[in-house]
A = this chain, B = another copy of it.
Amino acid sequence: MREAAAAEPRPYHHGDLRRALVEAARRILESEGPTALSLRAVAREAGVSPAAPYHHFKDKGELLDAVAHVGWDMLGESMTGAKQRAADLGSLMTEIGVSYVQFSQQHPALYRVMYDCSRDKDELPEGMQDNEDSAYCLVRETFRKVAGPEVPIVDIELATIAAWCAAHGLAEMSTFKQFDSLKIGLGGEEAFLRGVLGHLGMFQAGKPARI
């Protein structure tokens, strides 16, 4: 059927399959969810044999890593955008938190892969690693700026972890449809997110130093 998202020129043998496989995987994730994401299905979607991916990835896990990498990039851009859009220091963390959870709602299957594929290797997910510009560092640096120099480093670290836990927990919870009536009562999805985050200390607007 279809072989790639766009009819790009294929520079090589059968095309630049590595990218095509990652895109095929993302297509399957969005249309059929994480349980349908088998290596064979990805190969099928990309129009190659089940063994072809093994010339580009060591195993299924490495393919999922590549997919997760794309996800963390996208999430990082969302969060950076939210940080730049924030009106004042007091709302910085809230805006970043909301953008985090909204990303998880817009790409629930991808979000799942981003955590699952790293748990299998029990490593930290890519976006939580202490790299130069990981999403986690973005949050920590934001806390550092918001908190001021007198707050001990360990408190910055703990606050970052706490915020991440809260956002991740909310991301997982908000997928359950049982909260729908509460969401409606509050005036929509985003009001619900802000309502929950507002009960969580560091996300309270107008209290930048409260860490």
Cross-interface CB contact of A202 among B173, B185, B199, B211, cutoff 8 Å? B199
Distance (Å) between the CB of A39 and the closest chain B CB? 16
**Count of this chain's copies in the oligomeric assembly:** 2
Question: Looking at chain A, what size class is its interface with the partner chain?
Answer: 35 or more
Chain B positions within 8 Å of A74 at CB level = none
**Assembly CA distance A200 to B117 (angstroms):** 28
Q: Which of A6-14, A22-30, A77-85, A156-164 contacts B (4 or more CB under 8 A)?
A: A156-164
Which secondary structure dominates where chain A touches chain B? helix
Verify A154–B185 contact, CB threshold 8 A. Answer: yes
Q: Which residues of A contact B (CB under 8 A)?
A: 35, 115, 119-120, 122-124, 128-130, 154-155, 157-159, 161-170, 172-173, 175-179, 182, 185-186, 195-202, 204, 211
